Amino acid sequence: MAERNQQVLDFVRQELEKEPNLPSRPLYDQAQEIDPSIGNLSPNQFQGSYFLPIKRERSARAKKAGEAPASGAKRKKSSTPQRRTGAAPESAAAPESRAQQAGERALDPRQVRNVFLQFARDFAVAESRSEIVEMLSKVDDYVDQVVKQGR
């Protein structure tokens, strides 16, 4: 990794302390006045070398202190807790699928997989564009096979 100018790092840190939502471009322009060699960096390189590390550092400190993130992006507050402690109770099992609710037989994943594999084999045989288009036009036949297996 290239050497970073400590004066520029300190400058960026101070400016972000004053104005946390400041974009990197004005800082890039001002940093070139402090150190003209910054002009050798592209704006993206400057952002990756000076701007983002400081933003990450501030974000990590804020998380550690339990504060909200300092960035302009606000996260929606969820009414449900983010973390679960322990396993879900037996009564909270996954809801039944529509097929199970309707009393229908659920699809066997192995049969569906076999239909997909047959489609892949048939597709792999196609050599020209017209054969590929013809193969894709038959996709409904494969869907019908899957649907028939579910009945």
The total number of structural domains that make up the chain: 2
Whether the predicted pLDDT of 40 surpasses 70: yes
84 part of a folded domain: no
Q: What is the pTM of this model?
A: 0.42
Q: Report if residue 21 sits inside a domain.
A: yes
Question: Is there a single domain that holds both residue 10 and residue 61?
Answer: yes
Is 54 part of a structural domain of the chain?
yes
Do 11 and 58 reside in the same domain of the chain?
yes
Domain that holds residue 47: 6-65
Highest mean pLDDT among 28-37, 96-105, 106-115: 28-37
Model confidence at 60: pLDDT above 90: no
Asked whether residue 70 is assigned to any structural domain, the reply reads: no
Domain-embedded: residue 140 = yes
Of 46, 65, 84, the position where a domain reaches its end is 65
Last residue of a domain, one of 49, 65, 81: 65
CA–CA dist 28, 146 (Å, integer): 58
- Residue 7 CA to residue 53 CA, distance in Å, equals 15
40 in any annotated domain: yes
Shortest CA distance to 35 belongs to which of 22, 21, 49, 23?
A: 49
**Would 22 be classed as within a structural domain?**
yes
Confidence band (pLDDT; 50, 70, 90) for 96? low
Query: Is residue 34 situated within a structural domain?
Result: yes
Residue 49 CB coordination number (10 Å): 19
